[in-house]
Amino acid sequence: DIQATKGAFAALRADGRVIAWGDSSCGGDSCTVNDELWAVKQICSSSKVFSAIRENGDVIIWGDGPGPMIMPGRCFQLGLKDVRQVVSCSEFFAALHSNGKVTTWSRMGKFQLSEPEDIEEIRASSGAFAAISNDGSLHAWGDPAAGGSLDVVTSLGPRTWTARLKRRRVMRE
């Protein structure tokens, strides 16, 4: 697996270690978290920040001075434990936890836990996130111009989806 920010690359090696190179302000220097980058199962990137999920579900981030609320290294202060998937859009990440909760954060450290707690799958566009719950409900948040609004969704193919139209203001504060 290889991921890229605006100015750097990170690659997941077969032994579960991660190597990064390129512009240090875009995550090309992972020296502050190298001791944490082992037993990694997934890496993800935003425009200037990388994240890695370890086999135990811990999330490690590094890159553009992640911000005042997120310090490089393990992200326990954001509750990023027991994570099974991370996706990103532009400046934001979303982590899907094993219990179905989603945590969304930016490099500036703002985050929000989603409701409900039964998310099965999550995807990202250039500026929004979409998720499907175990019951088939569809959820979206972020920039409406990038798909962060379900106002126009009535059905997808042969299966009709229930659209929960709760507005989530994670992207625009």
Burial class (CB in 10 A: 0-12, 13-18, 19+), 65: middle
DSSP strand E in 75-164: where?
Answer: 83-89, 92-97, 102-106, 111-113, 119-124, 128-133, 138-142
Which structure tokens are listed for 63? Answer: 């890159």
Tokens of 43: 């890496």
What's residue 72's pLDDT?
57
Contact 53, 98 (CB under 8 A): no
Structure confidence at residue 68 (pLDDT): 46
The Cα 86–Cα 84 span in angstroms is 7
Reading the chain (173 residues) residue by residue, the pLDDT tens digits are 899 999 999 999 999 999 999 998 888 988 888 888 999 999 999 888 888 999 999 988 888 754 544 555 555 556 688 999 999 988 788 889 998 988 888 766 656 555 657 889 999 998 888 888 888 888 888 888 888 877 655 444 333 333 333 333 333 33
Question: Rounded to two decimals, what is the model's pTM?
Answer: 0.77
* Residues 141, 165: Cα–Cα separation, whole Å: 9
Instruction: Report d(CA 88, CA 146) in Å as an integer.
Output: 13
- Rounded (10°) CA dihedral 121, 171, 112, 50: 70
Structure tokens of 34? 């190298």
Instruction: Return the structure tokens found at 94.
Output: 């979303």
Residues in a beta bridge with 118: none
